[in-house]
Structure 1
């Protein structure tokens, strides 16, 4: 039983290491958030005696100079559980405030037992990224949504919406 688990871990490691680049899910399973990880952060691992993590970190990071421009998403879903509001008062304050109304493409979804997360979706409604926000304050949530959600000003001018000829 134990050897089967070790074998599965090793097989997963070799499959991951054989790919040219780790996916977001691969990096998350290794404990890295690919979208936010800069390679300069990987270089700091040796300062803490964590050299063994360096290779995986480098597979998940973005070069500091060529870090991708903040991705914009068509929609977002903030998933929360009202029973956990006492544990996350800042998230409760955001949800109960008028701030969500500033984002017409944000949906608040109540899911029993879940820690607060934001799911980012493309224009087809497919979840492209998920971000844990349990330690964020109200301003952080708002800033994140401003940075990552498309707004109508970002869209090309739709002449049917604007009634311009």
Structure 2
């Protein structure tokens, strides 16, 4: 799968992994699923689920640091400003910081995988599900897997291919 195919797949994820509704209870359900997976698989990660005006779920598993929460903050800002998964920004632009002319200060925005837009029909993007702690592509994959599980969609239909490290 080449870069353009991966961009098309991430766009499909964004279009099809839409929640019929979003609430505090749904954020807790999705966040708890991710936390349980992390604990079962020994993944060190932070999960943050929010609307644009407030955080609805936050969890950090063993091995994470304050830096992970900072990465989450910057990924959330990127999702909100650019209205797309932060990993799509990686595929479209590479992982270099935003240029100064963009006004997206690297202290507040980052091009790194793990931030995924939460969309609801009729409302559009209302928040973000964000993961930090793994390599960006894997952070993105954890978010996509959780949305697939919540929506009852097969993970394999939306998964990016594994890449060698």
TM-score bracket relative to the smaller structure: under 0.3
TM-score (norm: length of structure 2): 0.24
Instruction: Please identify the structure whose Cα radius of gyration is greater.
Output: 1
Q: Which has the higher contact order (CA 8 A, sep 6+)?
A: 2
TM-score (norm: length of structure 1): 0.24
